[in-house]
Structure 1
Amino acid sequence: MSSIVVQAFITLDGVVQAPGGPEEDTEGGFEYGGWQTSYVGGDDDGAIIMEWESKTEALLLGRRTYEIFAGAWGVWDENAAGFEGELTRRYNRVPKYVASRTLTEVGWKNSFLLGPDVPAAVETLRAQPGGEIRVWGSGQLISTLAEHDLVDEYRLVIYPLVLGTGKKLFPDGFPYTRLALAESRALASGVVINIYQRSDAS
C-alpha cells in the first residue's frame, strides 16, 4: 500500500500561497509571493526536504500546481548542481498524477490525468504497492482528499511569519480531521517542522 503525503511550506496564519516566487501565484491580488525564500540557506531545512523527497515515488497534483511544476522542474537542467538537479531528475522520473476538470492532455513526461472521479482514482493508486505519493500545493485537491479520508500524513514546514492574507492549507469548510503529532523539530531560524499522521481517534 502507498501513502498519500501532503507537504507544505506554511505561515503561522496558515497561508501556503506562492512561497517560492513573486509570480508563482498572484490570484486574489496576492502580493507576498516568495515569502519563504528569505529563510532558505540558513538552516538544514533543505537537507530535510531532500531526505523527504528521496522517498517520493509519485507526485499527485492539482491543475495549477502541475502547471507551475511542469514549467519549472519539467524544463530545468537535470545536470544542474545540488538541490535543483536532484529534484529535477527525480520529478522527471516519477509518475505525475494530475487532478483537473479542464486539462485534456499533459505534456510533462510520465504525467497522467486522473479522470472525472478523482477520489476513486486516488484510492486505487493508494491501494497499490509502493512508497510515498507526494502532494505539493494543490489546495482544492487536498480538501477533496481529506473529505474522502485519503491523506495519510501532513508534513508542515512552519515559518515564523504572519501574512494576514492568501490561500490557506486548511480554509473554512475544510473537512473535520483529527491527527496525531508524529514528529516535531525546531530549527535555528525559528522554522518548526511538524509531521502529523492520521489518528485512530474519532
Structure 2
Amino acid sequence: MVQAYVTLDGVVQRGGGPHEDDDGGFPHGGWAADYDAEHGGDDYGDLVAQWESRTDALLLGRRTYEIFAGSWGVWDESAAGFTGELTRRYNRVPKYVASRTLTELSWVNSHLLGPDLAADVRRIREQPGREVRVWGSTELVRTLGEHDLVDEYRLAVYRLVLGTGKRLFTAGFTPSAFVLAETWPLSSGVVVSRYRRRDRT
C-alpha cells in the first residue's frame, strides 16, 4: 500500500521537511508541513492514525529509510500522543529496505532486500498480517508498479501547484487501472483518497 502527500501537479518531493531531498535543487522543501501549519485542522492526523494502527511492515527506498531512521528511529518512544505511538510502532515492525548502495542498517528490525526486489516483495506480501506500507520512495514505487505489486494508493492531494520536483507517477510509468474506494475532503482543503486495483476490490 503506497501512501503519499502529493500536489495538484503530482509532486511528492520533500513534502514533509525542508532537508529531506535536495535533488535537482528543489526549492519548496516542507510544502506539506507548511501548508498544514497554515491551514490547521487535525482530521488528516486522525485518519493517518487509524491507518497506521494497521501497519505490520514498512517497505522503503534508501533515501526514505534514512529519513525515517533519523527521525522515528531515534525519537523518544515515551513521547505523548501520536508521535510516541507511531515511534513505538515503527520501531517494532519490520522495515524492508530497497537499496543498491547500503550494506548495513542501524535501525532496529530493519532488513536489506536483495537484488531480486520483486521476488523479495512477493515473499513479504505472502506473510500473514494486515498492511505493508510504502512512504515516499518514488523509484521503489515505480519498480513495484512495473511488477504489479501495488494493491492500493492512499493519496493526500494538496491544492498546491509547485511546477517542479519529483512526481509520484513519471513518464513511462506502467499503466494500471484503479477504482476510487473512499475519499475524505478535509477541513484544510486537502482531499484524501484511496484507490484500489480494479481487479482486487
Among all aligned residue pairs of Structure 1 and Structure 2, give the percentage whose two residues are the same amino acid: 66
* One-letter code aligned to 1:39: D
Q: Deviations over 1:53-107 (max 9, x none)?
A: 1100000000110001001100011111112111111100000000011111111
Whole-Å separation in 1 of the counterparts to 2:115 and 2:180: 33
CA apart distance, 1:200: 2.2
* One-letter code aligned to 2:110: S
The yes-or-no answer on 1:39 pairing with 2:33 is no
Whole-Å separation in 2 of the counterparts to 1:28 and 1:65: 17
Paired residues for 1:1-202 under 5 Å: 5-37=1-33, 38-40=35-37, 41-200=40-199
SS at match of 2:168: coil
* One-letter code aligned to 2:128: P
> Structure 1 stretches of 5 or more lacking a match?
none
SS at match of 1:36: helix
* One-letter code aligned to 2:74: V
Moved more, 36-45 or 153-162: 36-45
SS at match of 1:143: helix
Whole-Å separation in 1 of the counterparts to 2:170 and 2:103: 29
* One-letter code aligned to 1:26: D
Q: Deviations over 1:150-180 (max 9, x none)?
A: 1111000111111000111001111111111
Moved more, 33-42 or 77-86: 33-42
* One-letter code aligned to 2:151: D
CA apart distance, 1:189: 1.5
Using the size of structure 1 for normalisation, the TM-score is 0.95
Whole-Å separation in 2 of the counterparts to 1:44 and 1:23: 26
Moved more, 85-94 or 192-201: 192-201
Higher helix share: 2
* One-letter code aligned to 1:29: G
- Tell me how large the CA RMSD over aligned residues is: 1.1
CA apart distance, 1:24: 1.1
In the TM superposition, structure 1's runs of 4+ consecutive aligned residues that sit over 3 Å from their partners are: none
